[in-house]
Amino acid sequence: MVYLKFGTPQDVTNPGHDGMKIKFPFQVIEPRQGARHDKVTEHSIVVDIVGTMLATWGLGRSGSDPQSVASYLFEYSREAAIEKLVEGSLAQCHEISVHGANESYQNPFDPNKLTKPDGAVYEIDLAEAREMHRLKQKEKRGLGFKFKE
């Protein structure tokens, strides 16, 4: 088992940027046996969303509370952190860009189901998650042979 523990999101939007950029810091905590210290590593996911998406989702940049926008963008951060951890490719920092080419202009999230990022903790059975990931990858590859017509 490992745990992902998220900290307080930070608005890291550059002046003049028409969207928002929010940094989601988190720790990966691997409990150790006995009296040994847990292994703790620090990471972050930066989610950059363009202004058009914010406006379409009703989260316009100028009038939006950064914490409200953070609740929406946290879903991307959480999914990416778990995916990278399972794949074994989790770096110290990753950046995700949300725009019309990679996401629907219709808001994909139910605001009543959003989680506040600050202090959120997720328990992950890494062995089970990696096995599920391996099986999904195997399905994508196909059977490895072709039928003759």
Which tens digit of pLDDT belongs to each residue from 120-141? 999 998 888 888 877 777 676 5
In a domain, 60, yes or no: yes
In a domain, 70, yes or no: yes
pLDDT bucket at 52, cuts 50 / 70 / 90 = confident
In a domain, 38, yes or no: yes
In a domain, 147, yes or no: no
What is the total count of domains within the chain? 1
Q: Which residue has the higher pLDDT, 78 or 101?
A: 78
Cα–Cα nearest to 70, from 105, 115, 31, 32: 115
Range of the domain at 66: 2-141
In a domain, 30, yes or no: yes
